[in-house]
């Protein structure tokens, strides 16, 4: 069983709960959420031992930061860890000519990519004002990847902009104590590895790349993170849904439809879960935490039911035999660390 206890972001004084809260759904892109439900969900997380909350200007075009700030800003600052992101700042929506890729459900603002030093400060200052909080623990450089920018060439150009402008500015802010840690929030293993090699970041928010369905980071990224003492926060532990819901109508994999080869793997995972009496969501949430580089998993929750499910999953007992069976059937790599049951303590 995995407890929601604290782990250190290496070489900082930041300690995050193993189960964090990813506030992307609070932005409203997945659907409408009432303000009451937002505050109820966040309170449930806090009451359950969650101390780490992650957001971004991009989530709901400011709505996620506003909502999270409303919940956190009057609490003692040493009782929570807060991260947000830079790489986009917001401007009022041009309703007469909206951007073609504008997502529904957000506030009436539109994001502008900007990885310059000045853009980094502009983004951070906007975030602080929306949150109503001026002490940001971790500041992530957001979405410097092909998934976001469309082509390797475009992503490479953004990477150069980061190294010339955004990253040196974040180093200055970290040295001044304005932020405690520098991270990157990214969807791709290869580009995460590039940052790990080229910079002195403290942590990586890796979305969906080290899960029950894929373990490629074991080859190079995770060893490099251990070598350089870079901590990993794992976002998207359910690969954007399918590992929480299983197959069925509306199941998603990496924000799209579930490919056939992934669907077949999920069916096999579910069969092993059924044999051992383990829920798929619990296995998905607990597996990444066995690797020593990973300090927290931060699934999102749209409502208190989803948050309750996440909290139950992190505490669900899972036997060693379950993980051994997954490896025996080729569903986990042999070199993947797996959780060990906690020893029973005397009453």
Residues annotated as catalytic are 54, 59, 85
Q: Which of 114, 233, 124, 203 is nearest to 164 (CA)?
A: 114
Distance CA 125, CA 121 (A): 6
Bridge partner list, 214: 211
Q: Which of 179, 210, 199 is nearest to 85 (CA)?
A: 179
Cα distances from 138 to residues 85, 155, 205, 340, 341, in angstroms, run 8, 23, 10, 29, 31
Query: Among the residues of 82-198, which ranges form H helices?
Result: 117-131, 146-149, 152-161, 167-176, 189-198
Distance CA 221, CA 259 (A): 25
Q: Positive or negative CA dihedral for 45, 50, 51, 56?
A: negative
Query: Among the residues of the chain, which ranges form H helices?
Result: 35-47, 63-72, 117-131, 146-149, 152-161, 167-176, 189-198, 221-228, 242-245, 260-276, 280-286, 304-315, 320-328
Taking 3-state DSSP, the helix, strand and coil percentages for the chain, each rounded to the nearest 5, stand at 45, 20, 40
Whether the Cβ atoms of residue 148 and residue 162 lie closer than 8 Å to each other = no
Q: Collect all residues with Cβ–Cβ distance below 8 Å to 305 and sequence separation of at least 6.
A: none
* Residue 300 backbone phi and psi in degrees, to 5: -85, 165
Degrees, nearest 5: CA angle 15-20-23: 125
Token pair 């998603």: residue: 252
């Amino acid at each position: 069983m995995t407890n929601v206890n604290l782990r250190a972001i290496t070489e900082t004084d930041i300690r995050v709960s193993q189960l964090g809260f990813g506030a992307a759904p609070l932005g409203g892109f997945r659907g409408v959420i009432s303000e009451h439900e937002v505050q109820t969900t966040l309170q449930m997380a806090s009451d359950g031992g969650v101390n780490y909350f992650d957001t971004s200007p991009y989530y709901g075009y400011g709505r996620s930061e506003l909502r999270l700030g409303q919940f956190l800003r009057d609490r003692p600052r040493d009782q929570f860890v807060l991260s947000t992101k830079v790489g986009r700042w917001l401007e009022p929506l041009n309703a007469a000519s909206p951007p073609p890729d504008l997502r529904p459900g957000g506030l009436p603002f539109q994001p502008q990519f900007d990885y310059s030093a000045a853009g980094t400060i502009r983004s951070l200052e906007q975030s602080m004002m929306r949150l109503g909080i001026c002490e940001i623990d971790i500041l992530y450089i957001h979405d410097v990847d092909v998934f976001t920018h469309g082509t390797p060439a475009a992503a490479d150009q953004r990477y150069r902009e980061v190294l010339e402008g955004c990253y040196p500015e974040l180093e200055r802010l970290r040295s001044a104590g304005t932020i405690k840690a520098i991270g990157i929030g990214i969807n791709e293993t290869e580009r995460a590895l590039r940052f790990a090699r080229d910079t002195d970041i403290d942590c990586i928010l890796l979305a969906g790349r080290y899960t029950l369905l894929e373990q490629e980071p074991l080859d190079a990224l995770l060893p490099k993170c251990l070598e350089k003492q870079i901590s990993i926060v794992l976002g998207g532990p359910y690969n954007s849904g399918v590992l929480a819901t299983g197959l069925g109508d509306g199941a998603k994999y990496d924000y799209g439809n579930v490919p056939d080869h992934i669907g077949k793997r999920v069916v096999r995972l579910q069969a092993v879960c059924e044999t051992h009496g383990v829920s798929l969501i619990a296995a998905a949430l607990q597996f990444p935490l066995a690797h020593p580089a990973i300090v927290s998993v931060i699934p999102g929750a749209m409502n208190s039911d989803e948050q309750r499910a996440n909290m139950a999953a992190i505490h669900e007992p899972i036997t060693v035999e379950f993980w051994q069976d997954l490896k025996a059937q080729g569903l986990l790599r042999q070199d993947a660390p797996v959780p060990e049951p906690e020893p029973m303590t005397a009453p």
